């Protein structure tokens, strides 16, 4: 998986609790992304980062925040988890934001009860 | 707005037969197109991409894809399917200039190869 790890790989939590997912890369790529995968929707972008401390929203960013304090780490936080955030979350990396390939991590399966 | 469509939710093929997984796109400007495969409980693995040049792109595991500008299609093909090709396949277009060049994905096509 191109030097990308995600933790935890599985998590079950309760509605209203905060949750943080971590993505770690060893490729020194500038761009990092968080997507969520839901049946019938493919993958949709939540947030992305284009450098340390530089982040921006994707198409489904409500209820999520991100932080990137180091090149290699990109954190996704669900401030107050809801059942609609039950999903599989994938991190991706890319060297540039144009024709370069995005490589994906193994995913985190999150269940909000 | 950029979009990708995979018209078939599922494709069934017998082992040894050729397979095609269909993808059509709608973009403004030049399309940068990708195919990924997802095995159960795994992340997405990159198969191939079209950026420019030859319309027939060769990728991993014997897969290839044909870019057709007039039909706005980018179908994934393999001459002889294997049972191990059974997986979920995603077509995607890179949205250059928006949101960090995010990928816009189709809904996915489940490929089932039977012995």
Name the percent of chain A lying above pLDDT 70: 98
Q: Which residue in the block uniquely carries the two structure tokens 């595991």?
A: B61
Q: A61: closest CA among A73, A78, A43, A75?
A: A78
Nearest to A103 among B46, B99, B101 (CB): B46
Pair type for strands B24-26 and B56-58: unpaired
Query: Beta B33-38 vs B87-94: how paired, if at all?
Result: antiparallel
B108 interfacial to chain A (CB closer than 8 Å): yes
The full set of domains in chain B, from first to last, is 3-114 (2.60.40.10)
Comparing alpha-carbon positions, the chain A residue that sits nearest to B52 is: A99
Q: Hey, are the CB atoms on A92 and B103 less than 8 Å from each other?
A: yes
The shortest CB-CB distance from B100 to any of A1, A40, A50 is to A50
**Pick among 2.60.40.10, 3.40.50.620, 2.30.36.70, 1.10.10.60: CATH of A4-112:** 2.60.40.10
Mean pLDDT on B45-64: 94
Kindly determine whether residue B100 and residue A102, on different chains, have CB atoms separated by under 8 Å.
no
Name the residue among A38, A46, A43, A48 with its Cα closest to residue A78.
Answer: A46
Which pLDDT band holds residue B44 (cuts at 50, 70, 90)? very high
* A19-30 residues labelled b (16+ CB within 10 A) or e (exposed): bebebbbeeebb
Q: How confident is the model at residue A110 (pLDDT cuts 50, 70, 90)?
A: very high
* pLDDT over threshold 90, residue B2: no
Chain A contacts of B107, Cβ < 8 Å? 40-42
**What are the tens digits of pLDDT across the range B58-77?**
999 999 999 999 999 999 99
- Kindly indicate the confidence band of residue A96, based on its pLDDT and cuts at 50, 70 and 90: confident
Query: Inter-chain contact A56–B105, Cβ cutoff 8 Å?
Result: no
C-beta of residue B95 within 8 angstroms of C-beta of residue B103 = yes
Residue A79 near residue A56, CB atoms below 8 Å: no
Residues in a beta bridge with B113: B13
Q: Is B29's Cβ below 8 Å from some Cβ in A? A: no
> Average pLDDT, whole number, for chain A?
94
What integer pLDDT is reported at residue B107 of this predicted model? 94
């Amino acid at each position: 998986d191109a030097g990308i790890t995600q933790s935890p790989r599985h998590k079950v939590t309760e509605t209203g609790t905060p949750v943080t997912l971590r993505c770690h890369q060893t490729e020194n790529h500038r761009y990092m992304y968080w997507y969520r995968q839901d049946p019938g929707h493919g993958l949709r972008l939540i947030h992305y980062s284009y450098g340390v401390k530089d982040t921006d929203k994707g198409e489904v960013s409500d209820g999520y925040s991100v932080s990137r304090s180091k090149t290699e780490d990109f954190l996704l936080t669900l401030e107050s988890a809801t059942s609609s955030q039950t999903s599989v979350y994938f991190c991706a990396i890319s060297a540039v934001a144009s024709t370069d390939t995005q490589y994906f991590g193994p995913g985190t399966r999150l269940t909000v009860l | 707005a950029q979009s990708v469509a995979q018209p078939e939710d599922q494709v069934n093929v017998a082992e040894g037969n050729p397979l095609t997984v269909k993808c059509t796109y709608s973009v403004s400007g030049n399309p940068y197109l990708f195919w990924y495969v997802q095995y159960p409980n795994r992340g997405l693995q990159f198969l191939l991409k079209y950026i420019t040049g030859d319309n027939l792109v060769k990728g991993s595991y014997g897969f290839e894809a044909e870019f057709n500008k007039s039909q706005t299609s980018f179908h994934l093909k393999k001459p002889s399917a294997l049972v191990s090709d059974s997986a979920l396949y995603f077509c995607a277009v890179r949205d250059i200039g928006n949101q960090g060049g995010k990928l816009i994905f189709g809904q996915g096509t489940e490929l089932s190869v039977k012995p």
